[in-house]
Amino acid sequence: MARLLYRIGSTAYRRWPFFIAGWLLVAVVLGSLAAAFSKPMTDAFSIPGIPSEKAADIQQELFPQAGDAFDDASVNLVVAAPDGHTLAEPRYQAAIQQLIEKVPTLPQAGTDNPGLVAPAPPAEGVPTAFSTLSDDGRIGIMSFEWDVETPADLKTTTIDDLEELLADTTEETGLVAEANGPGMAVMEPPGGSSELIGLGIALVVLVLTFGSLMAAGMPLFNAVFGVGLGMTGITAMTALMDIGSSTPMLATMIGLAVGIDYTLFILARYRTELHHTKDRAHAAGIAVGTAGSAVVFAGLTVLIALSALAVVRIPFLTAMGLAAAATVFVAVLVALTLLPALLGLTKSKAFAGQVRKYAPKRDKHGRVHNNGVRWAQTLAKAPVAWALGVVVLLGALAAPITQMYLAFPTDSTSPTDTTQRKASDLMTEAFGPGREGPLLVVVDGRQITDDDARQSAFDRVVDWAAGQDDVASADLVATNAPIGEDGEPTGTGTGAMIQVVPSSGPDEPETLDLLEALRDGQRAVEDQTDTVVGVTGLTAITTDVSDRLNSALPIYLAVVIGLAFVLLVLVFRSILIPLTATLGFLLSVLATLGATVAVFQEGAFGLFEGQPIVSFMPIFLIGVVFGLAMDYQVFLVTRMREAHVHGLPTHEAVIDGFRNSARVVTAAATIMIAVFSGFILEDTAVVKSMGFALAVSIVFDAFVVRMVLIPSVLYLLGEKAWWLPAWLDRILPNVDVEGESLERDSAPVHVGSDRGDLDGDKQLAEV
């Protein structure tokens, strides 16, 4: 491994024009494919085989004109008169008419919107523009459809225009006008202020790490270039598979973070190697052969964790995992090939633009005595206390996980200052919380031949549904009877749709209990009515998705941890080190989930409004955090093993590993935290919570587990830490992550040597 990567690094340095041109060609090809074959992204969360999906299939058979629940781009316009007034008053009738006339003029609104009709004459007393009107006549709902195939096709400017129209209506007429519904859910593309904030902080950290503007820019350039390729590739992948609109955001988060970290690790090793050789191409080869080996295995753990999401057979999660994995794969290739090519391009200017000088203190043996060494020596004084302290701290932070409630976000959980939340609150006030999360009972009566008997069966199903606990109303809303010339149904029809409105909101446990009760009684009512009954609708689908996610979690954990454990045994040639690394990961991920529940769900510290945790958060977080946790494990412990391989006892090897890697790991973790934290500023609750959870997970894992727990445990294990059964040692291939087989000059090089390409590096220092 090390020799192969050495050849790649040194060749890329010498032949830099070819490598840079090759990457530019890849970018052009991917861009062309994306432009020619890409399709719109989708927000579908359906899973083949779940009960709601089976019911939806029956619905499609009986009602072919009915669309997919996730392709629904409808908007509810919720209009409220001031307290003490009604919408039937003439002045409000005129304002409603004006609103109705303006909506079709909006971009993407289309001209055929039967949901928006002229209000009734004032004498009628009730405006017929509203599909639903509150009992007191003060709040009404009217709906329309955007002229798009799916909500993913909507533009943010379209939603902005609608919100501006609603604000003008409120200001000019005194009516309160808000909007919600699936047609208001638009995911903004990556590339906004959140990424810029993260990159800005990363630049500061890199400048402090290298003391050079040029060197600080290389990891950022590589990361942005890699993410750009990844995003273009994801866009091109839409031609082959459905990809959710949130996938690019998550892939961007991970791609930026690992892209910077991987390049930083190799660049730091390259700078260190300049103390040992006059040949920059050789130094680049050594850096890629050693640090690059660690990057390869660190990247492999992330790829395993993300790609293994496919084993749980959840299409939207599989797409997320594969897209993020592809971005990480690109980040690894960019770090291994484009970085040394850029070093070949810049040569002696690679560390130009110095803003500070770094002159580390050295001990009596001439070795660097930095803060990493001091920290490792501090841990060595009381490893038991430090290890127990970490376990107690992370265990306490994990406690709120027992209260975790998983659900998909709804308008009722949106921030209170959004029009979606305001509309939801008005609907709840007028019609109850269940109005936003109705369940749809599909009844297949094709086995019944008599029209009267079929109608009687439909009525009995309605009565059965209405008799369940927590049901506000149950109504037969449609049958598939053919429509005659007079516009009236001819006959009963072979299928029916019954809308069941719960008394509770879509994200409340009572609604889930109702769904379970309907399904538990489904077989009995089918036997009584000779029909086939199924329950579907958006609430039912998202609930089934959540259930599938929860049931898939143990399988996913077994696959990911099993494969990664084998990989780490191969890297470290030890059983106990991979074991402690995995146990440390479990501590950090449990603490992360506990902290996320406390802050996001319970609203601790008042930082965020309390709302359920999005259902796919745990499984996706586990995958990402496991991969990133193993990154830091590999970065830090490979330097310890390198020192141990070269003869140092475990105690000294731990200190030497901190001497050479603690600063880089600290910088890498700080950058990753900054990148993830930037996404907390996003408007979308899902992205906001993911950014928070990922940032907190890096704090716990990098700084608490990898920098405190793992070295403390290694001190306690001593030489046993590197134990490997003899039979296993014989069959394991030697991947040489430490670069033991590579030759290098041992004498440090002084500035101003006979190689002109070293001129200008005034302060070469070990990082």
Q: Find the mean pLDDT for residues 502-521.
A: 89
The answer to whether the beta carbons of residues 614 and 722 sit under 8 Å apart is: no
3-state helix, strand, coil in the chain (%, to 5): 65, 10, 30
What pLDDT is stored for residue 617 in this prediction?
83
Does residue 207 carry a pLDDT above 80?
yes
What pLDDT is stored for residue 125 in this prediction?
41
Residue 178 is classified by DSSP as E
**In whole angstroms, what separates CA 214 from the centre of its chain?**
31
Q: Find the mean pLDDT for residues 31-54.
A: 78
The answer to whether the beta carbons of residues 265 and 755 sit under 8 Å apart is: no
What pLDDT is stored for residue 477 in this prediction?
86
3 state DSSP class of 612: coil
**Residue of 149, 131, 148 whose CA lies nearest to 140:** 131
Give the separation between CA 467 and CA 470, rounded to whole angstroms.
Answer: 9
3 state DSSP class of 614: strand
Q: Number of helices and strands (H, E) in the chain?
A: 24, 10
Alpha helices in 573-645 (DSSP H): 576-596, 617-645
The 10s digit of each residue's pLDDT in 302-348 is 888 888 888 877 777 788 888 888 899 999 999 999 999 999 998 88
| Site of tokens 């946790």 | 629
What pLDDT is stored for residue 456 in this prediction?
92
- Starting from the edge strand earliest in sequence, which strands make up the sheet with 74-80, in order? 132-133, 139-145, 74-80, 176-180
pLDDT confidence bin for 359, thresholds 50/70/90: low
φ, ψ (nearest 5 deg) of residue 548: -65, -40
Give the separation between CA 708 and CA 669, rounded to whole angstroms.
Answer: 14
H or E element in which residue 250 lies: helix 247-273
Which value, in Å, is the radius of gyration of the alpha carbons in the chain? 31
The 10s digit of each residue's pLDDT in 48-64 is 788 888 888 888 888 88
The half-sphere exposure of 387 on its side-chain side, counting CA atoms within 13 A, is: 16
439-536 maps to CATH 3.30.70.1320: yes
What pLDDT is stored for residue 486 in this prediction?
61
Does residue 767 carry a pLDDT above 60?
no
Q: What is the 3-state secondary structure (H, E, C) of 439-465?
A: EEEEEECCCCCCHHHHHHHHHHHHHHH
Q: Find the mean pLDDT for residues 622-635.
A: 79
Give the separation between CA 499 and CA 431, rounded to whole angstroms.
Answer: 15
- CA distances to 22, 53, 192, 262, 624 from 231, rounded to whole Å, are 18, 30, 14, 19, 18
**Those residues with Cβ within 8 angstroms of residue 13's Cβ, 6 or more apart along the chain or in another chain:** 280, 281, 284, 285, 340, 341, 343, 344
What pLDDT is stored for residue 739 in this prediction?
60
What pLDDT is stored for residue 430 in this prediction?
87
Q: Where are the domains of the chain?
A: 2-40+189-408+543-758, 71-184, 439-536
Does residue 89 carry a pLDDT above 90?
no
Does residue 418 carry a pLDDT above 70?
yes
The 10s digit of each residue's pLDDT in 727-765 is 888 888 877 665 666 655 443 444 333 333 433 333 333
3 state DSSP class of 135: coil
CATH fold label, 71-184: Alpha-Beta Plaits (3.30.70)
Choice between 111 and 742, residue whose per-residue pLDDT is larger: 742
What pLDDT is stored for residue 364 in this prediction?
67
What pLDDT is stored for residue 738 in this prediction?
58
The 10s digit of each residue's pLDDT in 114-153 is 444 433 333 344 444 556 788 888 998 888 888 887 777 7
What pLDDT is stored for residue 700 in this prediction?
93
Please tell me if the domain spanning 71-184 has the same topology as the one spanning 439-536.
Answer: yes
Q: Find the mean pLDDT for residues 227-247.
A: 81
